[in-house]
Chains A and B, each alone.
Chain A
Amino acid sequence: MKQAKRHNSRVDVIETLSLSELTMFCDTSADWIIRLVEYGVVAPVATTAPEWEFTPPHIARARKAARLMRDLGLNVAGVALVLDLIEERDALARKLALMETVAFV
């Protein structure tokens, strides 16, 4: 295994991605992204597909969806449900953590 040199390069923050950029970003097909939109997993800014722009929270969500579908063999409906439940669980965990802080202050 080679130890490579340190690289210093320009860093830019991705502000938005178009449909085709998000397709590449998730290593998937445009149809699959459109299905994610139809199921409300991600929501673009603008109403027609050619002008769609996806903001960072949606980019992260699409990629998470891609990983979950691939690793667990889920379909779009399944991944939509899983992501919703994960969000609910995280919100409950935060509430619980808060209540526990209160109890032990």
Chain B
Amino acid sequence: MPLSGKDKWDDIVTDTAFYEALGVSKDAPANDIKRAYRKMARKYHPDINPGVDASARFKAAGEAFDVLRDPEKRAAYDRYGADWDQPRPDPQQQGGAAQGGFAFDERDINPDMFRDFFGQRFGGARMRQDQHARVEIALEDAIHGANQTLTLQMPQVDDAGQVAMQTRHVDLRIPKGILPGQQLRLQGQGTGGGDLLIEVAFRPHPIYRIEGRDLYVELPVTPWEAALGDKVRMPTPTGTVDLSVPAGARQGQKLRLRGRGLPAAQKGDIYAVLHIVNPPELSAKARALYEQLAKEQPFNPRAKLGV
């Protein structure tokens, strides 16, 4: 770090990333900062807002608030920008958070924030700690089972008994038939011999909507398939099947195939939700047939509307 250059330019360090993360101006009073943080936390909390972007913003807001809520840290940040927490020879700055952003000292951590992202709060007296993490899997992984390697940050106790954040790679066998929200326990893989608990979530699937153990698929059908009934081809995660569409099928009607959902102990079902779709273009002949149908089939679908 070019300290001399830094000193020279001290007065014009204008790192405002933390202020931007909270959407406040650099001279915002402490109350505004707190209010802005609470608002961000409500809006972007990962349990409320499922977007990837939201979780990044939530984390950024938390990191920013952790610094800006503390007058000393805020002053250091205003002076030194992103390097605010670097050790400095200046005796005025001694005794602050010394190294890195995540010293696992409770005083330095906004206790509201970091636990689920960086593991449990760590008390020195209690070495054995369960750790929690979350993994997103593809639907196919739950159908067939899969192996995944997770990269996790978690506090670990080293040989000297010191606690430090470590990057760990954990090989995880996703068991066949796992359901959304289920927890996997890896014994002894937490901190100090505690367990590692992993909540399984499913990535959205382009074809299937997952609800518990059941799957839903939007199945387009033609107007004549819906009117006359027919066997139509339908995808399932384990292969294509023939589905009997009953005559007079309705838009949005749900048809169930038992046991074709997620292969849990109690097997889920798959539902086809019918969508009646018109061909993008009608041939002259098809048009003539429709016109004939219009003449020969009296039906007013708007009778209930009084017209």
Question: A-side interface residues toward B, CB under 8 Å?
Answer: 1-14, 24-25, 27, 56-57, 59-60, 63-64, 67-68, 70-73, 82, 86, 94, 98, 101-102, 105
Contact = CB atoms under 8 A, between A and B. Distances in A.
Contact of B182 (A24, A56, A82): A56
A72 B168 contact: no
Contacts of A63: 132, 199
Contacts of A3: 166-167
**Of B164, B172, B183, which is in contact with the most chain A CB atoms at under 10 Å from its CB?**
B183
B167 A4 contact: yes
B173 interface: yes
Interface string B189-206: 100000001010000000
Contact of A4 (B47, B156, B187, B209): B156
- What are the nearest 6 A-B pairs in CB distance? A60-B181, A14-B183, A4-B168, A56-B182, A2-B166, A105-B277
Contact of A6 (B149, B158, B188): B149
A10 B3 CA distance: 50
A26 to B, nearest CB: 10
A59 to B, nearest CB: 6
Contact of A60 (B158, B170, B183, B251): B183
Contacts of B212: 57
A11 B195 CA distance: 10
Given A13-B184, A72-B42, 16 more contacts: A4-B156, A4-B168, A6-B169, A7-B169, A7-B186, A9-B187, A11-B175, A13-B178, A14-B184, A25-B130, A56-B181, A60-B199, A67-B116, A72-B41, A94-B209, A98-B218
B179 interface: yes
Interface residues of B, number: 49
B130 A24 contact: yes
B167 A56 contact: no
A57 B275 contact: no
B166 A72 contact: no
Contacts of B112: 70-71, 73
A55 to B, nearest CB: 9
B273 A98 contact: yes
B260 interface: no
A7 B45 contact: no
A80 to B, nearest CB: 14
Nearest to B218: A101
Contacts of A14: 182-185, 197
Contacts of B175: 11, 13
Contacts of B111: 70
Contacts of A57: 181, 212
B220 interface: yes
A72 B158 CA distance: 34
Given A7-B171, A14-B182, A102 B275 contact: yes
Contacts of A56: 179, 181-183
Interface in B214-246: 218, 220
Interface in B127-167: 130, 132, 149, 156, 158, 164-167
A82 to B, nearest CB: 7
B16 interface: no
A5 B112 CA distance: 31
B115 interface: yes
